[in-house]
A and B are shown apart, each in its own frame.
Chain A
Amino acid sequence: MSKIGTDRVKRGMAEMQKGGVIMDVVNAEQAKIAEEAGAVAVMALERVPSDIRAAGGVARMADPTIVEEVMNAVSIPVMAKARIGHIVEARVLESMGVDYLDESEVLTPADEVYHLNKRDFTVPFVCGCRNLGEAARRIGEGTSMLRTKGEPGTGNIVEAVRHMREVNGQVRTLVNMSVDEVMTYAKELGAPYEVLLDIKENGRLPVVNFAAGGIATPADAALMMQLGADGVFVGSGIFKSDNPANFARAIVEATTHYENYELIAKVSKGIGTAMKGLEIGTIAPEERMQDRGW
Protein backbone atom coordinates (compact mmCIF):
# COMPACT_ATOMS: atom_id res chain seq x y z
CA MET A 1 0.00 0.00 0.00
CA SER A 2 1.49 3.32 -0.94
CA LYS A 3 0.56 6.61 0.71
CA ILE A 4 0.83 10.13 -0.70
CA GLY A 5 1.00 13.42 1.21
CA THR A 6 2.39 11.94 4.45
CA ASP A 7 4.52 14.07 6.78
CA ARG A 8 7.62 12.14 5.75
CA VAL A 9 6.97 12.71 2.06
CA LYS A 10 6.17 16.41 2.53
CA ARG A 11 8.95 17.21 5.00
CA GLY A 12 11.38 15.00 3.07
CA MET A 13 10.92 17.15 -0.02
CA ALA A 14 12.21 20.14 1.97
CA GLU A 15 15.11 18.05 3.33
CA MET A 16 16.29 17.56 -0.27
CA GLN A 17 16.53 21.34 -0.68
CA LYS A 18 18.97 21.74 2.21
CA GLY A 19 22.16 23.67 1.60
CA GLY A 20 20.56 25.15 -1.48
CA VAL A 21 19.21 28.42 -2.83
CA ILE A 22 15.59 28.94 -3.89
CA MET A 23 15.18 31.86 -6.28
CA ASP A 24 12.21 34.09 -7.14
CA VAL A 25 11.52 34.23 -10.88
CA VAL A 26 8.82 35.92 -12.95
CA ASN A 27 9.17 34.14 -16.30
CA ALA A 28 10.69 31.13 -18.11
CA GLU A 29 13.86 32.99 -19.04
CA GLN A 30 14.64 33.88 -15.41
CA ALA A 31 13.78 30.33 -14.32
CA LYS A 32 16.35 28.95 -16.76
CA ILE A 33 19.01 31.39 -15.50
CA ALA A 34 18.25 30.26 -11.94
CA GLU A 35 18.42 26.54 -12.83
CA GLU A 36 21.63 27.03 -14.79
CA ALA A 37 23.17 28.86 -11.81
CA GLY A 38 22.43 25.88 -9.53
CA ALA A 39 19.20 26.89 -7.75
CA VAL A 40 17.54 23.92 -5.99
CA ALA A 41 14.07 25.30 -6.76
CA VAL A 42 12.39 28.40 -8.15
CA MET A 43 9.49 30.43 -6.78
CA ALA A 44 7.20 31.48 -9.63
CA LEU A 45 5.77 34.97 -9.11
CA GLU A 46 4.13 37.74 -11.06
CA ARG A 47 6.43 40.35 -9.49
CA VAL A 48 9.40 40.08 -7.12
CA PRO A 49 8.79 41.48 -3.60
CA SER A 50 10.53 44.83 -4.18
CA ASP A 51 8.23 45.47 -7.17
CA ILE A 52 5.19 44.39 -5.13
CA ARG A 53 6.27 46.88 -2.48
CA ALA A 54 6.74 49.63 -5.09
CA ALA A 55 3.46 48.90 -6.91
CA GLY A 56 1.28 48.90 -3.78
CA GLY A 57 -2.36 47.75 -4.08
CA VAL A 58 -3.45 44.17 -3.49
CA ALA A 59 -0.90 41.45 -4.28
CA ARG A 60 -2.47 38.11 -5.23
CA MET A 61 -1.47 34.64 -6.41
CA ALA A 62 0.46 34.81 -9.70
CA ASP A 63 -1.35 34.40 -13.01
CA PRO A 64 -1.42 30.61 -13.60
CA THR A 65 -0.01 31.24 -17.09
CA ILE A 66 3.27 32.41 -15.50
CA VAL A 67 3.36 29.48 -13.08
CA GLU A 68 2.75 27.06 -15.94
CA GLU A 69 5.39 28.73 -18.11
CA VAL A 70 7.96 28.33 -15.32
CA MET A 71 6.94 24.71 -14.65
CA ASN A 72 7.47 23.89 -18.32
CA ALA A 73 10.84 25.64 -18.46
CA VAL A 74 12.78 23.81 -15.72
CA SER A 75 13.18 20.32 -14.23
CA ILE A 76 13.93 21.54 -10.68
CA PRO A 77 10.94 21.92 -8.29
CA VAL A 78 8.65 24.91 -8.74
CA MET A 79 7.10 26.72 -5.78
CA ALA A 80 4.38 29.37 -5.83
CA LYS A 81 2.81 31.76 -3.33
CA ALA A 82 -0.78 31.84 -2.13
CA ARG A 83 -2.25 34.56 0.11
CA ILE A 84 -2.46 33.80 3.83
CA GLY A 85 -5.77 32.00 4.43
CA HIS A 86 -6.75 31.87 0.74
CA ILE A 87 -7.95 28.26 0.48
CA VAL A 88 -8.88 28.52 -3.19
CA GLU A 89 -5.61 30.07 -4.41
CA ALA A 90 -3.79 27.25 -2.61
CA ARG A 91 -6.07 24.57 -4.11
CA VAL A 92 -5.70 26.04 -7.61
CA LEU A 93 -1.90 25.97 -7.37
CA GLU A 94 -2.00 22.44 -5.94
CA SER A 95 -4.21 21.28 -8.81
CA MET A 96 -1.68 22.65 -11.30
CA GLY A 97 1.00 20.40 -9.82
CA VAL A 98 3.12 23.09 -8.15
CA ASP A 99 5.67 21.23 -5.97
CA TYR A 100 5.57 23.46 -2.87
CA LEU A 101 3.28 26.30 -1.74
CA ASP A 102 4.35 29.36 0.21
CA GLU A 103 1.55 30.76 2.36
CA SER A 104 3.16 34.14 2.12
CA GLU A 105 3.02 37.49 3.84
CA VAL A 106 4.53 39.01 0.69
CA LEU A 107 1.01 38.82 -0.77
CA THR A 108 -1.89 40.71 0.78
CA PRO A 109 -3.55 38.40 3.34
CA ALA A 110 -6.99 37.03 2.40
CA ASP A 111 -7.76 36.23 6.04
CA GLU A 112 -6.53 38.27 8.98
CA VAL A 113 -7.57 35.69 11.58
CA TYR A 114 -6.91 32.19 10.23
CA HIS A 115 -4.01 30.62 8.39
CA LEU A 116 -4.62 27.63 6.11
CA ASN A 117 -5.09 24.16 7.56
CA LYS A 118 -2.12 22.80 5.68
CA ARG A 119 -2.73 19.22 6.85
CA ASP A 120 -5.65 19.08 4.41
CA PHE A 121 -3.36 19.39 1.41
CA THR A 122 -1.27 16.81 -0.43
CA VAL A 123 1.16 19.50 -1.57
CA PRO A 124 3.63 20.61 1.13
CA PHE A 125 3.79 24.18 2.45
CA VAL A 126 6.46 26.60 3.57
CA CYS A 127 5.50 29.39 5.99
CA GLY A 128 7.29 32.41 7.43
CA CYS A 129 8.11 32.87 11.13
CA ARG A 130 9.69 35.51 13.35
CA ASN A 131 9.91 33.48 16.55
CA LEU A 132 9.33 30.03 17.98
CA GLY A 133 5.68 30.72 18.80
CA GLU A 134 4.90 31.53 15.19
CA ALA A 135 7.01 28.59 13.96
CA ALA A 136 5.21 26.16 16.29
CA ARG A 137 1.75 27.46 15.29
CA ARG A 138 2.57 26.90 11.62
CA ILE A 139 3.90 23.41 12.39
CA GLY A 140 0.69 22.77 14.32
CA GLU A 141 -1.28 23.72 11.18
CA GLY A 142 0.83 21.31 9.16
CA THR A 143 3.56 23.30 7.44
CA SER A 144 6.38 21.06 6.17
CA MET A 145 9.05 23.76 5.99
CA LEU A 146 9.74 27.10 7.67
CA ARG A 147 11.57 30.24 6.65
CA THR A 148 12.31 33.48 8.43
CA LYS A 149 10.00 36.30 7.39
CA GLY A 150 12.74 38.92 7.36
CA GLU A 151 11.49 42.03 5.59
CA PRO A 152 10.87 41.04 1.97
CA GLY A 153 11.92 43.23 -0.95
CA THR A 154 14.27 45.42 1.09
CA GLY A 155 17.69 43.91 0.36
CA ASN A 156 18.29 44.52 4.07
CA ILE A 157 19.35 41.44 6.02
CA VAL A 158 18.71 42.83 9.51
CA GLU A 159 15.20 41.42 10.00
CA ALA A 160 16.10 37.94 8.73
CA VAL A 161 19.03 37.91 11.17
CA ARG A 162 16.72 38.98 14.00
CA HIS A 163 14.19 36.23 13.19
CA MET A 164 16.76 33.45 12.77
CA ARG A 165 18.47 34.35 16.05
CA GLU A 166 15.13 34.59 17.84
CA VAL A 167 13.89 31.18 16.68
CA ASN A 168 17.17 29.38 17.35
CA GLY A 169 17.65 31.09 20.72
CA GLN A 170 14.16 30.08 21.81
CA VAL A 171 14.76 26.49 20.64
CA ARG A 172 17.88 26.41 22.84
CA THR A 173 15.92 27.82 25.80
CA LEU A 174 13.24 25.17 25.31
CA VAL A 175 15.71 22.30 25.02
CA ASN A 176 17.33 23.34 28.31
CA MET A 177 14.04 23.63 30.21
CA SER A 178 12.69 20.97 32.50
CA VAL A 179 9.50 19.37 31.17
CA ASP A 180 7.34 20.93 33.90
CA GLU A 181 8.20 24.40 32.56
CA VAL A 182 7.11 23.70 28.99
CA MET A 183 3.37 24.35 29.41
CA THR A 184 4.01 27.85 30.75
CA TYR A 185 6.42 28.50 27.89
CA ALA A 186 3.71 27.29 25.48
CA LYS A 187 1.32 29.79 27.04
CA GLU A 188 3.83 32.62 26.76
CA LEU A 189 4.67 31.85 23.14
CA GLY A 190 1.10 31.02 22.12
CA ALA A 191 2.53 27.75 20.85
CA PRO A 192 0.96 24.28 20.73
CA TYR A 193 2.26 22.31 23.74
CA GLU A 194 2.73 19.02 21.85
CA VAL A 195 4.82 20.70 19.16
CA LEU A 196 7.10 22.21 21.82
CA LEU A 197 7.47 18.86 23.58
CA ASP A 198 8.48 17.25 20.31
CA ILE A 199 11.09 19.98 19.66
CA LYS A 200 12.40 19.59 23.19
CA GLU A 201 12.73 15.81 22.87
CA ASN A 202 14.50 15.94 19.51
CA GLY A 203 16.60 19.01 20.26
CA ARG A 204 15.57 20.68 17.00
CA LEU A 205 12.66 21.83 14.86
CA PRO A 206 10.88 18.94 13.11
CA VAL A 207 11.08 20.69 9.73
CA VAL A 208 13.85 22.57 7.94
CA ASN A 209 14.13 26.33 8.45
CA PHE A 210 15.44 28.47 5.59
CA ALA A 211 16.38 32.15 5.66
CA ALA A 212 14.33 34.62 3.63
CA GLY A 213 13.49 38.30 3.45
CA GLY A 214 16.39 40.64 2.64
CA ILE A 215 19.23 38.49 1.29
CA ALA A 216 21.03 40.57 -1.36
CA THR A 217 24.66 39.38 -1.54
CA PRO A 218 26.74 36.17 -1.34
CA ALA A 219 27.96 37.31 2.09
CA ASP A 220 24.34 37.75 3.28
CA ALA A 221 23.54 34.17 2.22
CA ALA A 222 26.64 32.81 3.98
CA LEU A 223 25.80 34.82 7.13
CA MET A 224 22.35 33.22 7.34
CA MET A 225 23.88 29.75 6.91
CA GLN A 226 26.29 30.48 9.76
CA LEU A 227 23.39 31.52 11.96
CA GLY A 228 21.88 28.08 11.41
CA ALA A 229 19.69 28.39 8.32
CA ASP A 230 19.22 25.14 6.37
CA GLY A 231 19.28 27.05 3.08
CA VAL A 232 18.20 30.41 1.65
CA PHE A 233 15.45 32.02 -0.39
CA VAL A 234 16.54 34.95 -2.52
CA GLY A 235 13.70 37.12 -3.75
CA SER A 236 14.51 40.45 -5.30
CA GLY A 237 18.26 40.04 -4.62
CA ILE A 238 19.05 38.24 -7.87
CA PHE A 239 16.90 39.71 -10.62
CA LYS A 240 17.12 43.24 -9.19
CA SER A 241 20.94 43.14 -9.28
CA ASP A 242 23.09 44.38 -12.17
CA ASN A 243 23.99 40.95 -13.42
CA PRO A 244 21.51 38.25 -12.32
CA ALA A 245 23.41 35.23 -13.72
CA ASN A 246 26.59 36.26 -11.88
CA PHE A 247 24.77 37.04 -8.66
CA ALA A 248 22.85 33.77 -8.79
CA ARG A 249 26.00 31.67 -9.24
CA ALA A 250 27.91 33.57 -6.55
CA ILE A 251 25.07 33.21 -4.01
CA VAL A 252 24.84 29.44 -4.69
CA GLU A 253 28.56 29.02 -4.07
CA ALA A 254 28.61 31.17 -0.95
CA THR A 255 25.70 29.10 0.44
CA THR A 256 27.53 25.79 -0.16
CA HIS A 257 30.83 27.00 1.28
CA TYR A 258 29.58 29.47 3.88
CA GLU A 259 32.66 29.13 6.07
CA ASN A 260 35.19 29.54 3.28
CA TYR A 261 35.86 33.27 3.36
CA GLU A 262 38.51 33.27 0.65
CA LEU A 263 36.03 31.62 -1.67
CA ILE A 264 33.27 34.09 -0.77
CA ALA A 265 35.68 36.95 -1.49
CA LYS A 266 36.54 35.39 -4.83
CA VAL A 267 32.94 34.82 -5.95
CA SER A 268 31.95 38.32 -4.80
CA LYS A 269 34.51 40.00 -7.07
CA GLY A 270 33.29 41.81 -10.17
CA ILE A 271 29.72 40.51 -10.05
CA GLY A 272 28.25 44.01 -10.36
CA THR A 273 26.14 46.05 -7.97
CA ALA A 274 23.67 44.44 -5.59
CA MET A 275 20.06 45.61 -5.48
CA LYS A 276 19.50 48.98 -3.83
CA GLY A 277 18.56 48.39 -0.20
CA LEU A 278 15.92 49.93 2.04
CA GLU A 279 16.43 51.04 5.64
CA ILE A 280 13.72 49.34 7.73
CA GLY A 281 13.03 52.55 9.71
CA THR A 282 11.89 54.28 6.50
CA ILE A 283 9.08 51.74 5.98
CA ALA A 284 5.83 52.77 7.64
CA PRO A 285 4.74 50.16 10.23
CA GLU A 286 1.57 49.34 8.28
CA GLU A 287 3.68 48.56 5.21
CA ARG A 288 5.89 46.01 6.96
CA MET A 289 5.12 42.63 5.43
CA GLN A 290 6.51 40.70 8.42
CA ASP A 291 3.60 41.85 10.58
CA ARG A 292 1.09 40.13 8.31
CA GLY A 293 -0.11 36.81 9.70
CA TRP A 294 0.24 36.01 13.39
Chain B
Amino acid sequence: MVKIGVLGLQGAIAEHVRSVEATGAQAMIIKHKEQLDEIDGLIIPGGESTTMRRLIDKYDFFDALVAFGKKDKPIFGTCAGLILLANQIVGQETNHLALMDIKVERNAFGRQKESFETELEIKGVADDFEAVFIRAPYIAEVGPEVEVLATYNDNIVAAQQGHYLCSAFHPELTDDHRLTEYFVNMVKN
Protein backbone atom coordinates (compact mmCIF):
# COMPACT_ATOMS: atom_id res chain seq x y z
CA MET B 1 0.00 0.00 0.00
CA VAL B 2 1.32 3.48 -0.83
CA LYS B 3 2.04 5.90 1.95
CA ILE B 4 1.12 9.55 1.43
CA GLY B 5 2.58 12.24 3.68
CA VAL B 6 0.75 15.44 4.59
CA LEU B 7 3.04 18.34 5.49
CA GLY B 8 2.02 18.95 9.10
CA LEU B 9 3.20 22.46 9.91
CA GLN B 10 -0.08 24.38 9.72
CA GLY B 11 -3.46 24.27 7.97
CA ALA B 12 -6.04 21.67 6.95
CA ILE B 13 -3.90 18.65 7.82
CA ALA B 14 -6.49 16.29 9.35
CA GLU B 15 -8.85 16.82 6.40
CA HIS B 16 -6.21 15.66 3.90
CA VAL B 17 -5.41 12.65 6.09
CA ARG B 18 -9.11 11.75 6.07
CA SER B 19 -9.31 12.15 2.30
CA VAL B 20 -6.17 10.04 1.67
CA GLU B 21 -7.51 7.29 3.94
CA ALA B 22 -10.86 7.38 2.14
CA THR B 23 -9.04 6.37 -1.07
CA GLY B 24 -7.58 3.33 0.70
CA ALA B 25 -4.01 4.67 0.90
CA GLN B 26 -2.07 5.14 4.12
CA ALA B 27 -1.54 8.68 5.44
CA MET B 28 1.23 10.09 7.60
CA ILE B 29 1.60 13.58 9.09
CA ILE B 30 5.06 14.98 8.37
CA LYS B 31 6.43 17.23 11.11
CA HIS B 32 10.16 16.59 10.65
CA LYS B 33 12.17 16.41 7.42
CA GLU B 34 13.55 12.96 8.22
CA GLN B 35 10.02 11.57 7.89
CA LEU B 36 10.08 12.38 4.15
CA ASP B 37 12.19 9.22 3.65
CA GLU B 38 9.27 7.09 4.79
CA ILE B 39 6.68 8.24 2.24
CA ASP B 40 5.94 7.74 -1.48
CA GLY B 41 4.19 11.04 -2.15
CA LEU B 42 3.50 14.32 -0.34
CA ILE B 43 0.53 16.66 0.01
CA ILE B 44 1.18 20.30 0.91
CA PRO B 45 -2.13 21.40 2.44
CA GLY B 46 -4.09 24.62 2.42
CA GLY B 47 -3.36 27.12 5.16
CA GLU B 48 -1.46 30.38 5.20
CA SER B 49 1.44 30.25 2.74
CA THR B 50 3.50 32.91 4.56
CA THR B 51 3.13 31.03 7.87
CA MET B 52 4.02 27.69 6.30
CA ARG B 53 7.05 29.15 4.56
CA ARG B 54 8.35 30.56 7.84
CA LEU B 55 7.99 27.17 9.52
CA ILE B 56 9.57 25.41 6.51
CA ASP B 57 12.64 27.62 6.92
CA LYS B 58 12.66 27.37 10.69
CA TYR B 59 12.72 23.58 10.64
CA ASP B 60 15.14 23.28 7.76
CA PHE B 61 12.54 21.64 5.50
CA PHE B 62 13.30 23.70 2.41
CA ASP B 63 16.13 21.72 0.80
CA ALA B 64 14.58 18.41 1.85
CA LEU B 65 11.29 19.27 0.14
CA VAL B 66 13.03 20.36 -3.08
CA ALA B 67 15.15 17.19 -3.01
CA PHE B 68 12.01 15.09 -2.49
CA GLY B 69 10.51 16.57 -5.68
CA LYS B 70 13.75 16.25 -7.67
CA LYS B 71 13.82 12.52 -6.78
CA ASP B 72 10.62 12.24 -8.88
CA LYS B 73 8.45 11.71 -5.82
CA PRO B 74 4.96 13.13 -6.49
CA ILE B 75 3.83 16.30 -4.69
CA PHE B 76 0.28 17.70 -4.59
CA GLY B 77 -0.17 21.31 -3.43
CA THR B 78 -3.62 22.70 -2.59
CA CYS B 79 -4.23 26.46 -2.29
CA ALA B 80 -1.30 27.61 -0.09
CA GLY B 81 0.49 24.45 -1.26
CA LEU B 82 0.07 25.58 -4.88
CA ILE B 83 1.64 28.95 -3.99
CA LEU B 84 4.59 27.14 -2.39
CA LEU B 85 5.12 25.03 -5.56
CA ALA B 86 5.06 27.97 -8.01
CA ASN B 87 8.24 29.40 -9.50
CA GLN B 88 6.70 32.88 -9.90
CA ILE B 89 4.34 34.88 -7.71
CA VAL B 90 2.69 38.01 -9.16
CA GLY B 91 3.86 41.17 -7.37
CA GLN B 92 6.66 39.42 -5.46
CA GLU B 93 10.36 39.22 -6.24
CA THR B 94 10.73 35.98 -4.31
CA ASN B 95 9.21 32.53 -4.66
CA HIS B 96 9.17 29.41 -2.48
CA LEU B 97 9.95 25.82 -3.58
CA ALA B 98 9.74 26.74 -7.31
CA LEU B 99 9.10 23.16 -8.43
CA MET B 100 6.39 23.98 -10.98
CA ASP B 101 6.67 26.29 -13.97
CA ILE B 102 3.60 28.37 -13.10
CA LYS B 103 2.96 32.02 -12.28
CA VAL B 104 0.47 32.40 -9.48
CA GLU B 105 -1.67 35.32 -8.35
CA ARG B 106 -2.39 35.25 -4.59
CA ASN B 107 -5.88 36.00 -3.20
CA ALA B 108 -6.86 36.28 -6.84
CA PHE B 109 -10.62 36.09 -6.32
CA GLY B 110 -10.68 38.72 -3.56
CA ARG B 111 -11.09 38.62 0.20
CA GLN B 112 -13.01 36.06 2.25
CA LYS B 113 -16.48 37.45 1.47
CA GLU B 114 -15.80 36.66 -2.21
CA SER B 115 -14.80 33.05 -1.40
CA PHE B 116 -17.11 30.55 -3.14
CA GLU B 117 -17.90 26.98 -4.07
CA THR B 118 -18.75 25.69 -7.53
CA GLU B 119 -18.91 22.59 -9.72
CA LEU B 120 -15.82 22.15 -11.84
CA GLU B 121 -14.78 20.02 -14.76
CA ILE B 122 -11.33 18.56 -14.06
CA LYS B 123 -9.67 16.80 -16.99
CA GLY B 124 -9.25 13.10 -16.33
CA VAL B 125 -10.90 13.37 -12.90
CA ALA B 126 -14.55 14.48 -13.01
CA ASP B 127 -16.95 16.76 -14.84
CA ASP B 128 -18.84 17.74 -11.69
CA PHE B 129 -16.21 18.14 -8.97
CA GLU B 130 -17.33 20.06 -5.85
CA ALA B 131 -14.64 22.73 -5.53
CA VAL B 132 -14.37 25.04 -2.51
CA PHE B 133 -12.31 28.21 -3.09
CA ILE B 134 -11.15 30.10 0.02
CA ARG B 135 -9.20 33.33 -0.48
CA ALA B 136 -7.87 31.28 -3.35
CA PRO B 137 -5.06 31.96 -5.79
CA TYR B 138 -5.21 31.18 -9.50
CA ILE B 139 -2.54 30.38 -12.05
CA ALA B 140 -2.00 33.34 -14.36
CA GLU B 141 0.51 31.68 -16.70
CA VAL B 142 1.90 28.19 -17.25
CA GLY B 143 5.12 26.97 -18.86
CA PRO B 144 5.20 24.59 -21.88
CA GLU B 145 5.48 21.45 -19.76
CA VAL B 146 2.44 22.18 -17.64
CA GLU B 147 -0.90 20.62 -18.44
CA VAL B 148 -3.99 22.64 -17.47
CA LEU B 149 -6.55 20.38 -15.76
CA ALA B 150 -9.28 22.87 -14.81
CA THR B 151 -10.32 26.47 -15.35
CA TYR B 152 -12.92 28.69 -13.70
CA ASN B 153 -14.05 31.78 -15.66
CA ASP B 154 -10.98 31.29 -17.89
CA ASN B 155 -8.59 31.31 -14.92
CA ILE B 156 -6.46 28.21 -14.39
CA VAL B 157 -7.31 26.53 -11.09
CA ALA B 158 -5.73 23.06 -11.41
CA ALA B 159 -2.65 21.87 -13.27
CA GLN B 160 -0.13 19.06 -13.55
CA GLN B 161 3.52 19.03 -14.53
CA GLY B 162 4.81 15.47 -14.61
CA HIS B 163 4.74 14.25 -11.02
CA TYR B 164 3.59 17.61 -9.62
CA LEU B 165 -0.12 18.35 -9.15
CA CYS B 166 -1.77 21.50 -7.84
CA SER B 167 -5.22 22.97 -7.22
CA ALA B 168 -6.32 26.45 -6.17
CA PHE B 169 -9.34 24.94 -4.39
CA HIS B 170 -9.67 22.56 -1.43
CA PRO B 171 -10.50 18.94 -2.35
CA GLU B 172 -10.05 18.03 1.35
CA LEU B 173 -13.05 20.05 2.53
CA THR B 174 -15.69 17.88 0.88
CA ASP B 175 -16.50 14.17 0.67
CA ASP B 176 -15.55 14.20 -3.01
CA HIS B 177 -12.26 12.28 -2.92
CA ARG B 178 -11.76 11.90 -6.69
CA LEU B 179 -8.91 14.40 -7.04
CA THR B 180 -7.08 12.88 -4.05
CA GLU B 181 -7.58 9.48 -5.68
CA TYR B 182 -6.09 10.85 -8.90
CA PHE B 183 -3.01 11.90 -6.92
CA VAL B 184 -2.80 8.54 -5.13
CA ASN B 185 -2.81 6.88 -8.57
CA MET B 186 0.02 9.19 -9.70
CA VAL B 187 1.99 7.93 -6.69
CA LYS B 188 1.17 4.28 -7.46
CA ASN B 189 2.40 4.54 -11.06
**Neighbouring B residues of A35 by C-beta, 8 Å:** 50
**Neighbouring B residues of A38 by C-beta, 8 Å:** 50-51, 54-55
Q: Which of A16, A18, A94, A123 contacts B79 (CB 8 A)?
A: A16
- Output the nearest chain B residue to A253 by Cβ-Cβ distance: B58
**Neighbouring A residues of B31 by C-beta, 8 Å:** 257
Greatest chain A CB density within 10 A among B47, B112, B119 is at: B112
**B107 touching A75 by the CB < 8 A rule?**
yes
Expressed in whole angstroms, the Cα–Cα distance for A15 and B114 within the complex equals 17
Q: Mark A48-73, 1 if CB is under 8 A from B, else 0.
A: 00000000000000000000000000
Given the interface pairs A9-B132, A256-B9, the reply to whether A16 lies near B46 with Cβ below 8 Å is yes
**Neighbouring B residues of A98 by C-beta, 8 Å:** 111
B63 at the binding interface (Cβ < 8 Å): no
Given the interface pairs A38-B55, A76-B51, A256-B55, the reply to whether A16 lies near B12 with Cβ below 8 Å is yes
Expressed in whole angstroms, the Cα–Cα distance for A39 and B50 within the complex equals 9
Interface residues of B in 41-87 (CB under 8 A from A): 46-48, 50-51, 54-55, 58, 79-80
Expressed in whole angstroms, the Cα–Cα distance for A284 and B131 within the complex equals 50
**B113 touching A12 by the CB < 8 A rule?**
no
**A41 touching B48 by the CB < 8 A rule?**
yes
Interface residues in A, total, Cβ within 8 A: 37
**B116 touching A4 by the CB < 8 A rule?**
yes
- Output the nearest chain A residue to B58 by Cβ-Cβ distance: A253
**A20 touching B119 by the CB < 8 A rule?**
no
**A9 touching B10 by the CB < 8 A rule?**
no
Greatest chain A CB density within 10 A among B55, B107, B134, B174 is at: B134
Interface residues in B, total, Cβ within 8 A: 39
**Neighbouring A residues of B173 by C-beta, 8 Å:** 8, 12, 15
Expressed in whole angstroms, the Cα–Cα distance for A6 and B12 within the complex equals 18
**A97 touching B118 by the CB < 8 A rule?**
no
Nearest chain A CB to B84 CB, angstrom units: 14
Expressed in whole angstroms, the Cα–Cα distance for A15 and B48 within the complex equals 11
**A20 touching B117 by the CB < 8 A rule?**
no
**Neighbouring B residues of A99 by C-beta, 8 Å:** 111-113, 135
Interface of A, helix, strand, loop or mixed by DSSP: loop
Interface residues of A in 1-47 (CB under 8 A from B): 1-6, 8-9, 12-13, 15-20, 35, 37-41
Interface residues of A in 108-125 (CB under 8 A from B): 122-124
Q: Which of A6, A15, A75, A122 contacts B117 (CB 8 A)?
A: A6
Expressed in whole angstroms, the Cα–Cα distance for A125 and B45 within the complex equals 23
Nearest chain B CB to A77 CB, angstrom units: 6
A210 at the binding interface (Cβ < 8 Å): no
**B48 touching A2 by the CB < 8 A rule?**
no
**B50 touching A9 by the CB < 8 A rule?**
no
Given the interface pairs A3-B118, A13-B135, A19-B11, the reply to whether A39 lies near B51 with Cβ below 8 Å is yes
**A8 touching B48 by the CB < 8 A rule?**
no
**A9 touching B134 by the CB < 8 A rule?**
yes
Expressed in whole angstroms, the Cα–Cα distance for A41 and B8 within the complex equals 18
**Residues of chain B whose beta carbon lies under 8 Å from any beta carbon of chain A:** 8-15, 31, 46-48, 50-51, 54-55, 58, 79-80, 106-107, 110-119, 132-135, 152, 170, 173-174
Q: List 15 A-B contacts (CB under 8 A).
A: A2-B116, A2-B152, A6-B117, A8-B173, A13-B115, A20-B47, A40-B10, A41-B48, A75-B107, A77-B135, A97-B113, A99-B112, A123-B112, A123-B113, A256-B9
